[in-house]
Structures are given as structure tokens and as C-alpha cells.
């Protein structure tokens, strides 16, 4: 279980990465609505998994290539902004939970469920 210190660092990395990913000029990264859902740094801050959710993703392969090519710049900027002793090596993982949630909401909205009738007469 991560300590409070690592949890605070994870949240700082998440907020910083959210801002930095919007500044990247690579068109491969601007395919849809991009958000950083979570970050998990190791205890020694050598590695960090960054979970990304992209609503409206067109091509997952080109997105991963864009993230890989921008990872060096992102790591350098992260180190300058957060001033950590070790700047973690970033690993990006695409998270499809927002798309799955939107799909479930559309299914639930399309259901034709009649409203329940009140049984006030039975209570007497």
C-alpha cells in the first residue's frame, strides 16, 4: 500500500501531466478528449504508470507512437516543474473506462422501462 507521500506525488504527477499533454504539439496526441485518470509511481520514483482516457480515439496505434516520441520531453518538463529527486520514467497505459461508461449510459437511456405505479390504495 502506497504511503501518503507517494499518494501526494502521484496526484502532483497526474495534475502536471494533464497540463503538459495539452502543450504537446504532436498532432498524433490530439485525437479526442484526453484526460489523465491516474498515476502510479513506484516507491523509489524510478518508474511511473500514467493512465490516460481518450474519448473519441481514432487510432490507438498512432496515439501510442505519439506518446512514446513525446515521453522524453514530458519527463524533462515534469522534472523541471515538480523538482523531484528522481524524475520517473513514464509508461503510458490507455484506459477505456470512460468510453465503456458512456456506452453503458447510452444503453440504459435507450431502455423503455415504464415508471412504477404508486400503490397508495393497497396501504389502506
The answer to whether residue 119 sits within a structural domain is no
Cα–Cα nearest to 88, from 2, 6, 19: 6
The answer to whether residue 107 sits within a structural domain is no
The answer to whether residue 17 sits within a structural domain is yes
The answer to whether residue 89 sits within a structural domain is yes
Give the range of the structural domain holding residue 51, as residue numbers without chain letter.
Answer: 4-96
The answer to whether residue 101 sits within a structural domain is no
Domain of 86, CATH number, reads 3.30.300.20
The answer to whether residue 114 sits within a structural domain is no
Residues in contact with 84: Cβ distance below 8 Å, sequence separation at least 6, in sequence order: 9, 45
pLDDT of 1 strictly over 60: no
The answer to whether residue 57 sits within a structural domain is yes
Structure confidence at residue 46 (pLDDT): 92
The answer to whether residue 60 sits within a structural domain is yes
The total of other beta-carbon atoms located within 10 Å of residue 22's CB is 10
Query: Considering its fold, how many domains does the chain have in total?
Result: 1
CA distance 5 to 119: 55
Mean pLDDT to the nearest integer, 85-96: 88
Residues 13-58: tens digit of each pLDDT: 999 999 998 888 888 888 778 889 999 999 888 999 999 988 777 7
Amino acid at each position: 500500500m502506497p504511503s501518503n507521500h507517494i499518494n501526494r506525488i502521484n496526484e502532483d504527477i497526474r495534475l502536471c501531466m494533464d497540463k503538459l499533454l495539452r502543450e504537446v504539439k504532436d498532432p498524433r496526441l490530439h485525437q479526442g478528449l484526453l484526460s489523465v485518470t491516474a498515476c502510479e509511481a513506484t516507491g523509489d520514483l524510478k518508474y511511473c504508470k500514467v493512465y490516460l482516457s481518450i474519448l473519441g480515439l481514432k487510432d490507438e496505434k498512432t496515439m501510442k507512437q505519439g506518446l512514446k516520441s513525446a515521453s522524453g520531453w514530458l519527463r524533462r518538463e515534469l522534472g523541471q516543474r515538480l523538482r523531484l529527486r528522481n524524475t520517473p520514467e513514464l509508461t503510458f497505459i490507455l484506459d477505456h473506462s470512460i468510453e465503456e461508461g458512456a456506452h453503458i449510459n447510452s444503453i440504459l437511456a435507450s431502455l423503455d422501462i415504464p415508471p412504477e405505479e404508486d400503490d397508495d390504495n393497497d396501504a389502506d
